[in-house]
Amino acid sequence: MPEDHDQEHGRSPDASSSGDGEPTVPDDLVAMLDLLAQTIVQALGFGVAAVNIARPDGSLEVISVAGDEQARQMLLGTVQSAEIWDQILTVSEPWGRLRFADHRNEEANRELLSWVPDFVPVDAEDAWHPEDALFAPLTAEDGSRLGILSVDLPRDGLRPDAATCNALEAFAVSTALAIEHATLRSRAESSERLFRWLATHDSLTGVGNRSILFERLRHAATARPEHRSLLALAFIDLDGFKVINDHYSHNVGDHVLQTVADRILTVVRPHDTVVRWGGDEFLVLLEQLDNETAGLEVGQRIVEAVAEPIRHLDQEFGVTASVGVAFCGAADEVDADELVRRADSAMYAVKRTGRNACTAFGSGHDRASSR
């Protein structure tokens, strides 16, 4: 049987986002940051270590928290805007590459801190206060912000000494490198996926292109006889599109093409292949058909869907579809070029007899026969 190629809907893929549009962080990076945060807690004597990563919109999300379980539950997954972090860091005291938020600073705003631990400070001049915080800004080689490493709750209850701060700076460098390398790798993988997608898809409408059509026709041609089935190729040409494209603008024309492509996708079967052939022409490869009637029914659904008015920029536009369908039986040899020619011939027969209809190519004849 043919492979079950589900038609890919929508526009080009974005590897940095999940299905709901939220940015994602690779699992291996999360594991690395978890290890770094745990090491900071264990080696440097802090009760909490948290790693915030900069998101595409500039906000920062807490990706990893080690140490105090209450802090982990409160902080993990929280997001703060870049403006809030800028305010916090601006009024913080520089400690080398670190930034210390001192509770005694009158300019500090306690409300900006997303978590304040509940404890009584020790009786010492350099005691750590619940509203104190220590941050290590994480920057890329080009100076852009990658994130922020923050620590809290030193176990001895005192502000960290110089040796501890130097060690924390070293951990911050390692954390920044881990994030930057993961980001570069993710971008490279995203670009590779995009290039692969563009090789087989139309960038305007998101449906397939000629490459994917011929690939799937070749697959059908090389399938073993017992796995072959009746297939059809529907050739769709839009009636009235040139007038819209010339009279209004190419932006309007592009919107019409995108709308038509989306409508075709909604009325074909999930495993059918929709392709933009070029200009205002689309092709649909229909595999695993029970009979020719089933293929013509899909063609008729396309005609009806395309004919619905298209509303854009407070205006209404109308196009129709002339659809020609060519069939190839399970026992027939699949000749891709000949199949396209026959479907194209059937489509032009529709053009000559009134348009806005679906017609099948007559088997064995170089003409079209009406449905």
pLDDT tens, residue by residue, 168-221: 999 999 999 999 998 888 778 888 888 888 899 999 999 999 999 999 998 888
8-26 average pLDDT score: 54
pLDDT band for position 88 (50/70/90)? very high
If you compute the radius of gyration of the chain from its CA atoms, what whole number of angstroms results?
Answer: 31
78's tokens: 């929280």
Q: Each residue of 238-281: pLDDT tens digit? A: 999 999 999 998 899 999 999 999 999 999 999 999 999 999 99
What is the 8-class DSSP label of residue 9? P
Distances (CA, A) of 51 to 35, 72, 175, 210: 11, 11, 8, 46
pLDDT at 371: 40
Q: Could you tell me which residues are beta bridge partners of residue 133?
A: 101
Asked if 261 and 273 count as a contact pair (C-beta separation under 8 A), the reply is: no
DSSP secondary structure letters along 72-127: HHHHTT-EE-HHHHHHHHHTSEEETTEEEE-TT-TT--GGG-S-----PPPSSTTB
Instruction: Tell me the percentage of the chain whose pLDDT exceeds 90.
Output: 74
Is the confidence at residue 225, as pLDDT, over 80?
no
* Mode of pairing for the β-strands spanning 315-317 and 368-370: unpaired
Please report the domains of the chain, with CATH numbers, ordered by start residue: 27-192 (3.30.450.40), 210-370 (3.30.70.270)
* pLDDT score at 186: 79
Which stretch of 3-17, 61-75, 144-158, 291-305 has the lowest confidence by average pLDDT?
3-17
Q: Which of 68, 239, 280, 344 is catalytic?
A: 280
42: pLDDT strictly greater than 70: yes
Helices (H), the chain: 27-44, 69-75, 82-90, 162-200, 210-222, 241-247, 250-267, 292-306, 336-352
> Is residue 356 a contact partner of residue 239, using CB atoms and an 8 Å limit?
yes
CB under 8 Å to 26, separation ≥6 — which residues?
182, 185, 186
| Contact yes or no for 246/331 (Cβ under 8 A) | no
The predicted pLDDT at position 368 comes to 41
**Band of residue 228 on the pLDDT scale cut at 50, 70, 90:** confident
pLDDT-derived band of residue 165, with 50, 70 and 90 as boundaries? very high
Q: Is 34 assigned a catalytic role?
A: no
Q: Is 224 or 133 the better-scoring residue by pLDDT?
A: 133
Q: Given a cut of 90, is residue 303 above it in pLDDT?
A: yes
pTM for the whole structure: 0.60
Tell me how many degrees the CA angle 360-366-371 measures, rounded to the nearest 5.
Answer: 20
CA distance 87 to 109: 9
Answer whether 238's CB lies under 8 Å from 280's CB: yes
Contact 79, 64 (CB under 8 A): no
Alpha-carbon span 40 to 89, nearest angstrom = 21
Both tokens of 256, joined, read 């019409």
Within 13 Å and on the Cβ side, how many CA atoms surround 286? 30
Mean per-residue pLDDT over the chain, rounded: 89
Rounded average pLDDT over 219-225: 81
Query: What is the reported pLDDT for 213?
Result: 95
Q: Is the pLDDT of residue 333 over 90?
A: no
**Residue 67 and residue 46 in contact, taking contact as beta carbons nearer than 8 Å:** yes
Q: For residue 137, list its beta bridge partners.
A: 148
What angle do the packed helices 250-267 and 292-306 form, to 10 degrees? 140
